[in-house]
Amino acid sequence: MKKLTGPFTQMLPLTGLSMKGPLKDSQLQVIKNGWILSNNGRIITIGTLERLRRDHPSAQIEEIADERVVLPGFIDCHTHICFAGNRMNDYALRSAGKSYTEIALAGGGIWDTVTATREASEETLTKLLVKRSERHFSEGVTIIEVKSGYGLSVEQELKQLRAIKAASYLTKAVLVPTCLAAHIKPKDFDGNQGEYLEFIGKELLPVIKKEGLAKRVDIFIDDNAFKPERAVQYLEKAKSLEFDITVHADQFSTGGSEVAVEAGAVSVDHLEATKDRDIKMIANSNTVAVALPGASLGLGMGYAPARKLLNAGACLAIASDWNPGSAPMGDLLMQAAILGAAEKLSAAEVFAGLTFRAAQALRLENRGTLATGAPANLQLYPASDYREILYNQGKLKPVMKMA
C-alpha cells in the first residue's frame, strides 16, 4: 500500500552532496512543507502534496500535525556494544589522573571487559545488546555496527558474534557485525602477537565465514595492542577470505593509518594521534576516516583532526565508539554536536558524517539519504529549523517513524 506522509516543516534528504571533502550548509537541500511517498517501508519519492496526490491518487494519507524536521536515520559505523560488565573503576581512575596504559597494566582496561564477557552466556549478551540497540534506535540511530573483541578466543568470539546475530532479529535497528578478535593479545594465549594473529586467522576467520557471522574484520594497531608490522599479514589473510577490513588506528600512536590505507581498508577509525602526513594519505585514498568523539570525551584527550581531514579532501564519518571503557556514554548526536563545535564543522558536514558517509564506511548502498529506494526510516525532530538539532547538542531527541 502506497502511503503519503507529511507535511514536514523541513525535510533534509541529504542527496546530491559529495562523498568527500568539505560541505557548506548552503549546499543542503531544505524542502519546506514536503511529503514522502513510500511503499512497503521504502521511499518512492518526495515532493509537494499536490503533485504526489495527482500522480498517486490511491495513496493513503498520513498527516503529521505538529512542526517536524525530518532526516534519514543515523548510522553508527563503530561500536562495541556487545559486552557484559562495566568499567566504572577505570573511569574513576582516569579522572583521578591515571593513564589508559597505567590502568591496563594494573589489570583494568579491555581485559576487565573480556573477563566479564567471557563469564556471560550468549543469551545474556543477546539481551544486553538488544537493550542498547533499542536505546540507540530511539535516539535516531537506525543502523549500528557491532564489534566482537571481548572474547579473544575462538569459542568466545563465536559466542559474541552469535549473540549479535541473535539480537539482529530482536531489535528495530539493523546490526552490522564485525570481528575484532584482534583487539589485544589475550593474557591467556601462550605465544606472541604474531602467533596469536596467525592462530585466529587460521582457526577463527574460516568458521566466521562458513557460518556467515560477519563480513568485516577489524584490528587495533597501537603500542598498546598490535604493532603495524604484525597487522599486515593478518589483514592480508582476512582479505584472502573475502572479508572487508577496517582498522583501529592512530589513537595513541601513529603507524596504523598507513597500514590501513596500504591494505585498502574500508575505514580507518580513531585518528586522534594522526599527523599531517597521514591526513594527506587518507584523503588521497578511498578509505573513510571515522572520528570517534565519544572516546575523546571519555579519555579526556583531543579529537580526531576532523577539520583538517575534510579540508584535505577525506571522506569523514562520525561514530560513537560506544564501549564500556573509553566511551560509555553512547549518545551519538550529542558527541557529534560537540565535535562539530570543537572542530568547526558545518551542520552539513556533521549530518553527512552521521548518514551517507557513515554508510560508505560500512559499504552500505542506498543508505543515509531520503532517496528513491532507500528505507523510510525517518527521524522526526520537534523543531521548525534543522539548525535547532545541533544547537541543542543532543538534548533534542527525535521521534522514530517508518513512513
Go through 242-255 and write b for each residue having 16 or more CB atoms within 10 A of its CB, e for each that does not: ebbbbbbbbbbebb
Q: Is the pLDDT of residue 248 over 80?
A: yes
> pTM here?
0.97
| Average pLDDT of the residues in 275-297 | 98
Q: How confident is the model at residue 29 (pLDDT cuts 50, 70, 90)?
A: very high
The Cα–Cα gap between 193 and 190 comes to 10
Q: Which three cell numbers stand for residue 58?
A: 490511491
Q: How confident is the model at residue 1 (pLDDT cuts 50, 70, 90)?
A: confident
Sheet holding 267-270, edge to edge: 74-76, 141-147, 174-182, 216-220, 244-249, 267-270, 288-291, 316-318
Q: Is the pLDDT of residue 101 over 90?
A: no
pLDDT at residue 105 in the model: 78
pLDDT at residue 215 in the model: 98
Q: How confident is the model at residue 107 (pLDDT cuts 50, 70, 90)?
A: confident
- Cα 159 from chain centre: 22
| Average pLDDT of the residues in 348-371 | 97
Q: Is the pLDDT of residue 277 over 80?
A: yes
Distances in whole angstroms, Cα of residue 347 to Cα of each of 253, 316, 336, 368: 30, 13, 10, 15
pLDDT at residue 306 in the model: 98
Cα distance from N-terminal residue to C-terminal residue, the chain: 11
Q: Which range (16-30, 99-113, 320-334) has the least confidence?
A: 99-113
- Cβ-proximal residues to 253 (8 Å cutoff; 6+ apart), any chain: 222, 223, 273
The Cα–Cα gap between 54 and 65 comes to 22
202-228 residue pLDDT tens:
999 999 999 999 999 999 999 989 999
30-83 residue pLDDT tens:
999 999 999 999 999 999 999 999 999 999 999 998 999 999 999 999 999 999
Is the peptide bond prior to 328 cis by the omega test (within 30 degrees of 0)? no
131-150 residue pLDDT tens:
999 999 999 999 999 999 99
| Average pLDDT of the residues in 114-121 | 98
Angle ∠(270,113,97) on CA atoms, nearest 5: 65
Q: Is the pLDDT of residue 234 over 90?
A: yes
- Please report the domains of the chain, with CATH numbers, ordered by start residue: 2-72+368-402 (2.30.40.10), 74-361 (3.20.20.140)
Quote the longest CA-to-CA distance of the chain.
71
pLDDT at residue 106 in the model: 79
